[in-house]
């Protein structure tokens, strides 16, 4: 995360990849202890991953990152369960320190991503699709759409914030 803050994209990708694997394990165990199956787990993983990204300014670089990640995972998991009518207190500390249970294989996300993307304005939707689904870089997308790279990044950032809001509203 320290490297990522200085703009090291590869370090950031590695970090998010590892965080996703860790989140998957934490979220499945959290769902299991709330008596729920893993069907919604990937939605929560993605929502928490978005929060890790959008809220990365709140991590204090002088402190270990583990408790910060745990707090975000716990918040998103509790929030998800509360929206589905589960009110007991969940303490993820009991089961979040178990890397041997990490699940590498991801389940399909339950929230329909087409519907999620459809909630975005056209321009933002195109940018998210080109970058995430088709794997283009921001510079490529900018050239194809005739925008500056900065404008693509701004639109992408807005789109990510809208997606985070979409997860918060979603009540399947």
Partner 1 sequence: MKTDQLVDALVADGGAASPIARLLLLALAAGVALSLVVFFLTLGIRPDIGPALETWRFDLKIVTALLGLVLAFGVCRDCARPDMPPHPLRRLLPLLALIVLAVAVELVLVPEAAWRQRLIGSNSLICLPMVPILSLAPLAVVLWMLRRAAPASPALAGAAAGFMAALSGATLYAFHCFDDSPLFVATWYSLAVLGMTAVGAWLGPKLLRW
In the complex, the residues that contact partner 1 under the rule CB under 8 A are 1, 4-9, 11-13, 15-17, 20, 42, 45-46, 49-51, 53-61, 63, 67-68, 70-72, 75, 106, 108-109, 113, 116-117, 128, 131-133, 135, 137-138, 153, 156-157, 159-160, 164, 168
Please say which residue, 35 or 68, places its beta carbon nearer to partner 1. Answer: 68
Please say which residue, 29 or 46, places its beta carbon nearer to partner 1. Answer: 46
Residue 134 CB, nearest approach to partner 1 (Å): 9
Cα separations in angstroms, 38 against 26, 33, 96, 113, 114: 11, 11, 16, 18, 21
Residue 80 CA to residue 138 CA, distance in Å, equals: 31
> Encoding tokens for residue 165?
């809001």
Residue 52 CB, nearest approach to partner 1 (Å): 8
Please say which residue, 35 or 62, places its beta carbon nearer to partner 1. Answer: 62
Please say which residue, 35 or 63, places its beta carbon nearer to partner 1. Answer: 63
Residue 166 CA to residue 151 CA, distance in Å, equals: 22
Residue 37 CB, nearest approach to partner 1 (Å): 18
Residue 72 CA to residue 5 CA, distance in Å, equals: 18
Cα separations in angstroms, 10 against 3, 17, 18, 76: 9, 11, 12, 26
Please say which residue, 108 or 146, places its beta carbon nearer to partner 1. Answer: 108
Q: Which residues of 108-129 are buried (b: 16+ CB within 10 A; e: fewer)?
A: ebebeeeebbeebeeebbbbbb
Residue 7 CB, nearest approach to partner 1 (Å): 5
Residue 141 CA to residue 126 CA, distance in Å, equals: 9
Residue 84 CB, nearest approach to partner 1 (Å): 17
């Amino acid at each position: 995360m320290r490297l990522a803050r200085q703009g090291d994209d590869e370090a950031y990708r590695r970090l998010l990849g590892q965080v996703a694997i860790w989140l998957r394990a934490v979220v499945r165990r959290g769902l299991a202890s709330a008596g729920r199956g893993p069907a919604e787990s990937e939605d929560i993983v993605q929502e928490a991953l978005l929060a890790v990204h959008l809220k990365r300014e709140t991590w204090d670089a002088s402190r270990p990152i583990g408790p910060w990640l745990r707090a975000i995972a716990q918040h998103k998991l509790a929030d998800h369960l509360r929206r589905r009518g589960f009110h007991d207190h969940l303490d993820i500390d009991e089961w979040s320190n178990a890397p041997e249970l990490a699940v590498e294989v991801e389940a399909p996300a339950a929230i329909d991503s087409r519907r999620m993307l459809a909630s975005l304005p056209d321009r933002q939707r195109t940018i998210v699709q080109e970058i995430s689904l088709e794997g283009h870089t921001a510079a490529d997308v900018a050239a194809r759409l005739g925008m500056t790279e900065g404008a693509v990044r701004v639109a992408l950032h807005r789109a990510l914030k809208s997606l985070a809001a979409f997860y918060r509203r979603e009540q399947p």
